[in-house]
Structure 1
Amino acid sequence: MDPLRLNPPFWLRPAGVQTVLASAGLRALGRNAMVDAARQTILTTAEGVRLLGYMSRQARPRQKGLVILLHGWEGSSESTYIRTTGRFLFSHGFDVFRLNLRDHGPSHHLNTGIFYAVLLDEVVDAVRQIADAEHPNPVFLAGFSLGGNFALRIARQCAAQPINGLKQVVSISPVLDPDKATDRIDDSLLILKYFLKKWRRSLAVKQQLFPGRYDFSALMDVDNIREMTERLLARYSDYDSAGTYFRGYTLTNNDLRDITLPTTIITARDDPIIPVADFYDLHTSESTRLIVQPYGGHNGFLEGWRLNGWYERVMVDTFENASPSD
């Protein structure tokens, strides 16, 4: 079987089916040894930011290495695609660390400030701490959607400031141009409803925890992501517009050409959120591998009736074959 070829059955090919099933809870049913072994960890960065994560170690150390998983926007360490990917990696002998971005999962209480996708330094700091603790064993990083964007920015930053022990990066369905992605979400009723519900719930939790600091009532009746972003930024940030904010974590054209860390980017031509044209316009370095599949939707890439993620096999193959010098 060619590990780089995804050929799902006809009923699993529609982008909408792939995208919905990627986060469907039924995929995570059954015993999960990775979850059973998980231990909660709170990492404190040099700037005092606290991030919540879960470390799962093998009962018998196999020294294959540790994989750090980053979820997407309004996902968490408990997202289906994180749990299933972690289960697969754990079953193949890897330790797994599931890191929550700020204000994701049950972590809203850990920081007074709210989450912004431009807050890269705190995630880099957390990844560096995890990697330092693993020395001399190898560490790998895999991110999904917005987490994939973070993973690529971390890989880029490593060209100037390497993270000791970090050997490979894999980015699944990464957001490259958040301005375009926002428009696509707003134009898709089902996807828009999904993200509006999750974002409103997250903001409500934050407001309840810090009622003297936040009042998001002006956002709750807005029916699109762009306008919610504009209103949030106008009141609680120094950004003058969503466009300016989005440019702070956009990855297009030459933005990834300086990556030296071995990096794999996986996307689908039929992704309903991320335009595939943006990937064709990327100018990448020799250390970056771009895989574009005809099917897969967003974060899907499911390949059979068991609804397993095809990219899981790619990750294992990539991480197991990473050379010590990578």
Structure 2
Amino acid sequence: MVDAAREAILTTAEGVRLSGFMSRQPRHHNKGLAILLHGWEGSSDSTYIRTTGRFLFNRGFDVFRLNLRDHGPSHHLNTGIFYAVLLDEVFDAVRQISEAEHGKPVMLAGFSLGGNFVLRIARRCAMQAIDNLRQIISISPVLDPDKATDRIDNSRFILKYFLKKWRRSLTIKQRLFPKRYDFSAIMDVDNIREMTERLLARYSDYDSATSYFRGYSLTNNDLQGVTVPTTIITAEDDPIIPVEDFYNLHTSPATRLIVQPYGGHNGFLEGWRLNGWYERVMVEAFENA
């Protein structure tokens, strides 16, 4: 899959540029295309994206690994910084990728924050359809980012991981656009919530992290209108996403919820080879679309 990958830069209707990597099968086929979307501070080269992409590619699917803004090697493409509320640009990118397939079936899969994005795309498709988008798979999706942030901040190892990745990302952005950004007042903060508060106060119109988080949360009836067949996979032992959030969702008949007792966050490994269990669910859903 990696050897076959070719970089693509997508320009959305609003002029935002997003990067990704398309891996085409060597021979023409009708199996379709899988679009993969990583989580916060991940990228098209994250291990779970590459292993999932490889699994799908080896089973005959084309694979497009899409980067969110300011993720992977894409900080230079846009002056503005990444916010999780920026759904329009991701939706438009998925629409462009899908339409370029000229009717061939497309599956969209997202992980963690990427799982949140694909669920919001599923909701939007009820009003703005992407005709050949046949299946959506959401793995360990963030539903309530306010709760998820507290869980990250209260887990020393997870917090250390995200602080390191986010600081690195902000450092790259500041180096590329030194006249626009100065994150020095943010870098010494030791928790995600306070970093978010300070970033929003200086570089957004949001008055608090709570109001920002509300902008991309998925609760109650938010998924009730989904019409694209959608599968949500989560685990009771996820250290970031409370399983209770999923039981409180009122979903549509097109949505299937799978709750595993174990799997952690983006885990779901099985067998001595530690293969991803959800990969088989993806293939089954896509081939039966």
Is the counterpart of residue 57 in structure 1 residue 5 in structure 2? no
1:24 corresponds in structure 2 to none
> What is the total number of aligned residue pairs between the two structures?
289
Is the counterpart of residue 156 in structure 1 residue 87 in structure 2? no
1:5 corresponds in structure 2 to none
Is the counterpart of residue 304 in structure 1 residue 271 in structure 2? yes
Is the counterpart of residue 130 in structure 1 residue 91 in structure 2? no
Q: Output the CA distance in 1 between the equivalents of 2:26 and 2:228.
A: 30
Q: Output the CA distance in 1 between the equivalents of 2:131 and 2:169.
A: 34
Contact 1:128–1:164 (CA under 8 A) maintained in structure 2: no
Q: Output the CA distance in 2 between the equivalents of 1:202 and 1:83.
A: 21
1:191 corresponds in structure 2 to 158
Which secondary structure state, in structure 2, belongs to the residue aligned with residue 218 of structure 1? helix
> Once the 2 structures are TM-superposed, how far is the Cα of residue 134 of structure 1 from its aligned partner?
0.2
- Aligned residue identity for 2:109: A
Contact 1:109–1:206 (CA under 8 A) maintained in structure 2: yes
1:225 corresponds in structure 2 to 192
Is the counterpart of residue 47 in structure 1 residue 20 in structure 2? no
Q: Output the CA distance in 2 between the equivalents of 1:70 and 1:268.
A: 19
Which secondary structure state, in structure 2, belongs to the residue aligned with residue 35 of structure 1? coil
> Once the 2 structures are TM-superposed, how far is the Cα of residue 61 of structure 1 from its aligned partner?
1.8
Is the counterpart of residue 105 in structure 1 residue 72 in structure 2? yes
Q: Output the CA distance in 1 between the equivalents of 2:128 and 2:135.
A: 15
- Of the three residues 218, 238, 247, the one matched with 1:280 is 247
- Aligned residue identity for 2:264: G
- TM-score normalised by L of structure 1: 0.88
> Once the 2 structures are TM-superposed, how far is the Cα of residue 227 of structure 1 from its aligned partner?
0.2
- Aligned residue identity for 2:79: T
> Once the 2 structures are TM-superposed, how far is the Cα of residue 202 of structure 1 from its aligned partner?
0.1
Is the counterpart of residue 239 in structure 1 residue 212 in structure 2? no
Is the counterpart of residue 35 in structure 1 residue 35 in structure 2? no
Q: What are the ranges of 5 or more consecutive residues in structure 2 without an aligned counterpart?
A: none
Which secondary structure state, in structure 1, belongs to the residue aligned with residue 187 of structure 2? coil
> Once the 2 structures are TM-superposed, how far is the Cα of residue 99 of structure 1 from its aligned partner?
0.2
Deviations 1:37-89 (A, max 9, x none): 00000000011000000000000122100000000000000000000000000
1:94 corresponds in structure 2 to 61
- Aligned residue identity for 2:192: I
2:179 corresponds in structure 1 to 212
- TM-score normalised by L of structure 2: 1.00
> Once the 2 structures are TM-superposed, how far is the Cα of residue 164 of structure 1 from its aligned partner?
2.2
Is the counterpart of residue 116 in structure 1 residue 83 in structure 2? yes
Q: Output the CA distance in 1 between the equivalents of 2:134 and 2:25.
A: 20
1:80 corresponds in structure 2 to 47
Which contiguous aligned blocks of 4+ residues in structure 1 show a shift greater than 3 angstroms?
Answer: none
Which secondary structure state, in structure 2, belongs to the residue aligned with residue 190 of structure 1? helix
Q: Output the CA distance in 1 between the equivalents of 2:122 and 2:59.
A: 24
Contact 1:269–1:294 (CA under 8 A) maintained in structure 2: yes
1:263 corresponds in structure 2 to 230
> Once the 2 structures are TM-superposed, how far is the Cα of residue 141 of structure 1 from its aligned partner?
0.1
Is the counterpart of residue 201 in structure 1 residue 168 in structure 2? yes
1:3 corresponds in structure 2 to none
Tell me the percent identity: 83
Q: Output the CA distance in 1 between the equivalents of 2:147 and 2:248.
A: 14
Which secondary structure state, in structure 1, belongs to the residue aligned with residue 13 of structure 2? coil
Q: Output the CA distance in 2 between the equivalents of 1:279 and 1:135.
A: 35
Per chain length, whose mean CA-contact separation is higher, i.e. which structure has more relative contact order (CA < 8 Å, sep 6+)? 1
Q: Output the CA distance in 1 between the equivalents of 2:110 and 2:71.
A: 15
Q: Output the CA distance in 2 between the equivalents of 1:72 and 1:289.
A: 21
Which secondary structure state, in structure 2, belongs to the residue aligned with residue 235 of structure 1? helix
Which secondary structure state, in structure 1, belongs to the residue aligned with residue 195 of structure 2? helix
Which secondary structure state, in structure 1, belongs to the residue aligned with residue 50 of structure 2? helix
Q: What are the ranges of 5 or more consecutive residues in structure 1 without an aligned counterpart?
A: 1-33
Q: Output the CA distance in 1 between the equivalents of 2:81 and 2:145.
A: 18
